[in-house]
Structure 1
Amino acid sequence: MLEKKDHQYEKAVLVGLITQNQDEEKLKEYLDELEFLAFTAGATVEKRFTQKMTQPDSKTFVGSGKAEEIRNYIKENEISTVIFDDELSPSQLKNLEKEMEVKILDRTNLILDIFAQRAQTSYARTQVELAQYEYLLPRLTRMWTHLERQRGGIGMRGPGETEIETDRRIIRDRISLLKEKLKTIDKQMSTQRQNRGKMVRVALVGYTNVGKSTLMNAISKSEVFAENKLFATLDTTVRKVVIGNLPFLLTDTVGFIRKLPTQLVESFKSTLDEVREADLLIHVVDISHESFEDHINSVNQILMEIGAHQKPMIMVFNKIDAFAYEKKEEDDLTPETRKNISLAEWKKTWMSKSKFPTVFISALTKENFPEMKKLIYDEVLKIHISRFPYNDFLFEYHDDEEGEI
């Protein structure tokens, strides 16, 4: 479990199902991620409840026996929040809250809450508010009693904290107003993108918490907020970067995640436009994470959904500082793990045989940065030359002695 940092953290339990489409190992990965989400939102997880079912129960998601087991535990241990790994229907939420008599959240509501915490700009706050209202609208009958009993805390930030805001007509009007506001801002941002001229645009993409912001800081020598929590970066950041004497624009984007709520994909359309309109994508992967291959697939799926999957891409496998550099001795009986497989061995795997240019780095220690820098330079130059075929002679790659960007 993650370390408890202060007494203000809410006590929570997690609930997930083993199904035909999700075996026990996969569920453990999802619950590990859900626990990190809960920690990011401000909760400590006291216990996990799992159950094997063909499909979720239509009334309470889990079976009646498991629901009673959870109810008894939360009463005995003063648990304030129960978090389910999948999105619950309005009727499931209502039934569970009536039976458990505590706050019930699902993965979608939890992610929306984290976004509400992280949104810094007016634009990001507008996007989050729209997503929250769209999630809230079909659940208004549940929210009436919910808001009477408990205000504030995880899952309760943002809209819906007074009775008048829970009126369906008012929320629909608010959703329409927010959509119009976003359309206006989208037009402004589209104009800004056009006003950036013909400079090559490069976007950092990747799963949440893989080190994109740390890499952005290292490449652009800027101070983008970076933290070991999910969705540390929510607002899009654009910086002008020069490698050699070749300038381009580098964008840091919101991290992707498995089971990303559809409300957020729609609300953050303009943020994703930065990816959609980029000339080159840098796909950052946390190679030290045991599920990094799933993360790659999740990012590729979202790129496909927004029509950005055919763009030129560089694969950057980050956090190599978590690995050994020497192959273990043949007579060493220690089982092979990620920690004692050497980087050289990793480079012999499918990762180096990708159709995209690939590099292995540590954004923290800046290891292999010269190699990554040259790779980015080469790919940006290709795009630049295709756009300005007569001035490629102006650019000549050079590296400084310290190997920094």
Structure 2
Amino acid sequence: MSEKSQLKGQTLGFEIKVCNGKARVGKLHTSHGVFDTPIFMPVGTNANVKLMRADDLKSIGVGILLGNSYHLAVKPGLDVIKIHGGLHSFMNWNGGILTDSGGFQVFSLRDLRQINDDGVLIRSPVDGSKLFLTPELSIEIQRVLGSDIVMVLDHCPGPMDSYEEALKSLRRTHQWADRCLKYGVNEGQMLFAIAQGGMYEDLRRLSAQELAKMPFDGFAVGGLSLGEEFEKTLHLTGVTVESLPIEKPRYFMGGGSPELIVHLVEIGVDMFDSVFPTRLARHGTALTFKGRLNIKSARFKDDLDPIEEGCDCIACKNYTRSYIHHLFDRGEALGGILLTNHNLRFMMRFMERLRRSIYDGTFVDLKKEVINSYVKGEGDKLCYDSVDNTVFG
């Protein structure tokens, strides 16, 4: 199955290579490469994945990064991006880039914005500047950035919003999606819509069905992983995905914990992003196939083992748990750098195993392993934190 369009000898689009139940392995064709799905995309809100260089990201197997069009339009500003020739050149990254439209800021900066059907007036938490973000301006910003995947501007409701409020935001999201589609993206860019609907099953289904009628290159599930119960996240995602075109990529926005990803892959989601692994790393927690390790724990003071046996990241190949524990104990930045490298390499290895398990029919076994490690509590388990996103990553 494939959905493709031709561009100057390049093929843009998505093809499904194999399915195992609803889980599938695919290839996402962009202007800056072809990427295997399911895929995890690190967040680089401000044109940088915290504590990582572009070369480091490439060396550990990262294919697509995220940037935030609203924050980049505020700082450094589009004029700066323009003189560099686009976001890829600005941040010295030759892989894929997906840019968020600013729609998440409609939710996360609720106290700093005013919204109506025309757009949203946002006051920057960085410098207090104001920007009236319309669907058309959001697309124009992303045109200048030159990202490979462009997200429509959407109105993301809060998890506590009433049915009436969620319906209003859904209608606005659909109107804005249509305006984004009419404004259009550059050659070589793909445009994804975002399904909303709050915590309401019928609105989730309606949003997916209506957006599926429009010629978008892919579809995202938005407005979840914002504090609702884990089972509700899964149920509402499933309701949304079952109404989206099977031949188009499905992207869950803001989900990055292994236990969440493995469940969502099972119901047919292809793409994920989150600050989850990098934020954990900066606070001293490592991700492993046996669960999470709080490296700041005193029990690692004399531990000569690597963070994870068999891991090929620079931290595991060159340093002991004891040394990294020491770095965090003394507040040394290198501790966060090494754990960030490890956690992102873990995510790449984890996604590789997911794809392989779908190919060879062992997905169910891998899912059980992840649940045993991350839900039942092997290792130093942190409580499940469904809020995988922050304003600044």
TM class, shorter-chain normalised?
under 0.3
Normalising by structure 1, report the TM-score. Answer: 0.27
Larger Rg: 1
Greater relative contact order: 1 or 2 (C-alpha under 8 angstroms, separation 6 or more)? Answer: 2
TM-score by length of 2: 0.27
